[in-house]
Each structure stands twice: as C-alpha cells, then as structure tokens.
Amino acid sequence: MTPAVHAFFDEATSTVTYLVRDPEGSACAVFDSVLDFDPASGRTDTRSADAVIDFIRDAGLTLDWVLETHVHADHLSAAPYIQAALGGRIGIGARITEVQRTFGKIFNEGTGFQRDGSQFDRLFADGDSLMIGQMRAEVLHTPGHTPACLTYVIGDAAFVGDTLFMPDFGTARCDFPGGSAEAMWDSIQRILSLPDATRIFVGHDYKAEGRDAHAWETTVGAQKAQNRHIGAGRSREAFVALRQARDATLAMPRLILPSLQVNMRAGRMPEPEDNGVSYLKLPLNSL
Ligand SMILES: [Fe+2]
C-alpha cells in the first residue's frame, strides 16, 4: 500500500506538516500541524493551518485524524483549529501523561490542568493501530527525543517525527526532560528494521551544510547507509556519546516555553483570565 503524501513546510520553525490520503478513497489524516506564533507580540496566526484546510477542502477529502508524533517544543499545534474546521480526532502517544506531569510541575499548573491525556481524543500505545479510510496505520512507540514520541507506519510510509532527520543532518536532540539518547538509539533500530524501501518522512528539515534546498523524504535504506549519526555501523555507545556531546552545545528552541504550554493541552490555550485573555507563563531559571 502506497499512501499519497503531501508536505507543507513552515519556514519559521522548519516543521513539515504532512497530509496523508488513501489513494483509493477520500479519507485523510494530518500529522504535526502548525499554528503560527509571533512571540514578540503574542499573536497567533492561522495561515499555515489554513493552507492545509484549503487543500483538504479543494480535494474533497474527509479528515479522519489530526495526529501528533509528540509534544513539540518548537511550534504550536493547530490541531484544535483544524478539527473545528474539518472534524477528525486528535491523537498522540499514551505517555503524554508523563510529559504533562513533568511540564505541569514546571509551569506550576493547578488542578484545572489534567495530567491524564484527556485533552486528546485518543492516546496510542505501542502496537495500536488506527484506520484512515481503508488504510491501516500502525503505531510504534519510539521514545528518545521525548518519552511519548510515536512513529506512524502506513503501508510503505513511516512518519517518524523528531527521531531521524535527513541522513545528512542526523537525529533529533535528546536533552529535553524525559529525553534519552539510549532510548533514541533503540527506537531508531526499530524504525530501521522496516523494509529498506520504506519511505521515511521526517518532522523537520534544517538544510544540512552544503545542501541548498529543503528535503524531508528519504528511505530506511538511505538512513542505514548514510545517516551521519547512526549509519555505517556506528555503535550504540558511540551514538550516545556523540548525541550527548552535541546536545550540550544546543540552545533551547525559540518557542519552547509557549509551545509546551499549548501543546500539552492538545494545542489549546490556557483558560482565559477574568478579562477574557489567555496568558502564557515564562518560568524563570527553570529549564
Ligand atoms: Fe520535537
């Protein structure tokens, strides 16, 4: 089975949103949508999400799922906005509860913030599956970047989120709370055990040095042979050392504090205060 995949690239956050459709029918799913956000003004904008919504409407598709590979730390999710426009169910990994406990503490959330994942319509565990029309998507729990990261495998296509990036860029960081370079190595081995021809769609592209254009599609075979962090026989120990050394040099993503507060609520803003305005917090010296 070869699902049709359309990519929408967000320059501001280097995020790739994917629309996956059943080539035999009209059902589709959206992975990792983006709500545009300007931190200087505190303004949100829906042009990225509207491009996805317009595409789905123009093609006459039915949106079954609005899926997240994980709680993103670099962009706000537009899942509730897209769901309000087109329907569909919002899904994420079952270990979101762990992420909600961690960040509920960091943001000093009160009892109004549920840590049970109930903000999402469906929580997926390893081995679960879901249907997009007649297409079955298999869920792999692939922790490492975060404890709740998922990879969705649909026919010959795997949506790996922030686990593997393009071979010339490598892998995602593992130094957020609950991240683990060891777990990422093990997760990557599971992804690489898929057939070599499996198409891999990565969650971000930052244009590796020497490459002029963005790219987001590769294969299991190409990753095994060429990935600069894990390819060509690198050992688990060597990967963990390399990953941890590199993570120690990375600054926090520009939108991490707004993103986490919104995405741990399935993309919804915190409850408005008595003046009708929602506020995001900046915890000082906490991350
Ligand atoms: Fe991420």
* Count of all residues that appear for the chain in the document: 287
| Interval between CA 62 and ligand 1 midpoint (Å) | 27
| Interval between CA 87 and ligand 1 midpoint (Å) | 25
Rounded Cα distance between 20 and 65, Å, is: 10
Counting beta carbons within 10 angstroms of the beta carbon of residue 275, is it exposed (0 to 12), middle (13 to 18) or buried (19 or more)? Answer: exposed
Given a contact cutoff of 8 angstroms between Cβ atoms, the answer to whether 218 and 198 are in contact is no
| Interval between CA 70 and ligand 1 midpoint (Å) | 7
Rounded Cα distance between 209 and 169, Å, is: 8
| Interval between CA 90 and ligand 1 midpoint (Å) | 17
| Interval between CA 49 and ligand 1 midpoint (Å) | 18
| Interval between CA 25 and ligand 1 midpoint (Å) | 31
| Interval between CA 193 and ligand 1 midpoint (Å) | 22
Given a contact cutoff of 8 angstroms between Cβ atoms, the answer to whether 261 and 107 are in contact is yes
| Interval between CA 93 and ligand 1 midpoint (Å) | 13
| Interval between CA 162 and ligand 1 midpoint (Å) | 5
Task: State whether residue 50 is helix, strand or coil.
Answer: helix
Tokens of 16: 């790739």
Given a contact cutoff of 8 angstroms between Cβ atoms, the answer to whether 86 and 63 are in contact is yes
Counting beta carbons within 10 angstroms of the beta carbon of residue 89, is it exposed (0 to 12), middle (13 to 18) or buried (19 or more)? Answer: middle
Tokens of 125: 């565990």
The pLDDT tens digits of the residues spanning 104-163 come to 999 999 999 999 999 999 999 999 999 999 999 999 999 999 999 999 999 999 999 999
Residue 282 has pLDDT above 80, yes or no: yes
Tokens of 275: 């003046």
Q: For residue 112, give the nearest of 267, 272, 284, 275 by alpha carbon.
A: 272
Mean pLDDT of all residues in 49-65: 98
Eight-state DSSP code of residue 107: T
| Interval between CA 23 and ligand 1 midpoint (Å) | 29
Residue 233 has pLDDT above 90, yes or no: no
| Interval between CA 15 and ligand 1 midpoint (Å) | 9
Residue 241 has pLDDT above 90, yes or no: yes
Given a contact cutoff of 8 angstroms between Cβ atoms, the answer to whether 53 and 181 are in contact is no
Domains of the chain: 4-161+194-219 (3.60.15.10)
| Interval between CA 32 and ligand 1 midpoint (Å) | 10
Confidence of residue 231 (pLDDT cuts 50, 70, 90): confident
Residue 232 has pLDDT above 80, yes or no: no
Rounded Cα distance between 205 and 162, Å, is: 10
Residue 222 has pLDDT above 90, yes or no: yes
pLDDT of 66: 98
| Interval between CA 163 and ligand 1 midpoint (Å) | 8
pLDDT of 140: 98
| Interval between CA 72 and ligand 1 midpoint (Å) | 4
Pairing of strands 199-202, 122-124: unpaired
Does this model's pTM top 0.95?
A: yes
| Interval between CA 68 and ligand 1 midpoint (Å) | 10
Sheet with 122-124, side-by-side order of all strands = 4-10, 15-21, 27-31, 62-67, 89-93, 122-124
Residue 164 has pLDDT above 80, yes or no: yes
Mean pLDDT of all residues in 219-248: 94
| Interval between CA 150 and ligand 1 midpoint (Å) | 11
